Structure 1
Amino acid sequence: MNYVDGFVIPVPKAKLDAYRELAEKAAAILRELGALEVRECVADDVKAGVHTSFPQSVLLKDDEVVVFSWIVFESREARDKINAAFMADPRMASMMDPSSHPFDSKRMFFGGFKVLVAA
């Protein structure tokens, strides 16, 4: 079964184009290094919940939108190898400084997941 890294990110609506540029650059490098798939999705039908929700999870502000992203790898081992190469890639140096991100990286959350069902 594949392995998936998932991300939930609050992005200011005014910086969505800058986020897209960053995401496209990162996705191209990840694919070159061996990632099978990269998806970046902007919330379209996501409402605040009573107890939990995507907006609540990132303390979404009125001028922001939730971005839900995932990267598919062949395996956990492949993911670890690709992520290490990705972080060391000189093309990523300018994108690694949190002060240059078009979003608040302190409110982003992410993790690695084993696939339970694939259909």
Structure 2
Amino acid sequence: MYVAVAALSVPEENREAYKEAAEFMANWSMDHGAIEVMEAWEQDVPDGKNTDFRKAVAAPEGEKIVAGWVIWPDKQTFEKANEAMMKGEGFEAHPGEEMPFDGSRLIYGGFEPILTKGR
């Protein structure tokens, strides 16, 4: 299993546009082998003393934190999908609108689970 994790901030007024973009990417990811996709909109994200989600993504006033992940069966499947994404494969049907967030402040990374419980 391989998990791609992201944190970003989205202007509050772009919530629906973000949800539509996330839906497109979730479907694209599932079509390319993802097992699960999860996107979560901020409900309770406290300001920290030293660091926090807002500081991590340099979120200005009026933006909400979004956290999400995509679970892949393995790193190879992720890498193949990532390569397809970089080539624009499957994006012909993308609405082509501007991104509803500032991608330069997106934090992401890939992780190998060391412990899982539940589901």
TM-score by length of 1: 0.89
Distance apart, 1:29 and its partner CA: 1.0
When residues 92 and 45 of structure 1 are mapped into structure 2, their CA distance, relative to the original with a 3 A threshold, is farther
One-letter amino acid of the counterpart of residue 68, structure 1:
A
Counterpart in 2 of 1:34? 33
1:109 to 99, 102, 107: 107
Superposed counterparts of 1:1-119, under 5 Å: 2-88=1-87, 89-91=89-91, 100-119=98-117
User: Residue deviations 1:34-93, cap 9 Å, x none?
Assistant: 100011101111111000111111111121000001000001111101222233314268
Compared CA separation, residues 27 and 92, structure 1 to 2 (3 A): farther
3-state DSSP of counterpart to 2:71: strand
**Partner-residue secondary structure (3-state), 1:85:** helix
Closer/same/farther in 2, CA of residues 41 and 107 from structure 1, 3 Å limit: same
Could you tell me how far apart the structure 1 residues matched to 2:3 and 2:96 are?
Answer: 21
Bigger fraction of residues in helix:
1
Distance 1:92 1:46, change over 3 A: farther
1:91 aligned counterpart, secondary structure: coil
TM-score of the two chains, using structure 2 as the length reference? 0.89
Q: Percent of aligned positions with the same letter in both sequences?
A: 31
Q: Tell me, yes or no, if the aligned pair for 1:41 and 1:68 is still in contact at 8 Å.
A: yes
How far apart are the structure 2 equivalents of 1:48 and 1:12?
17
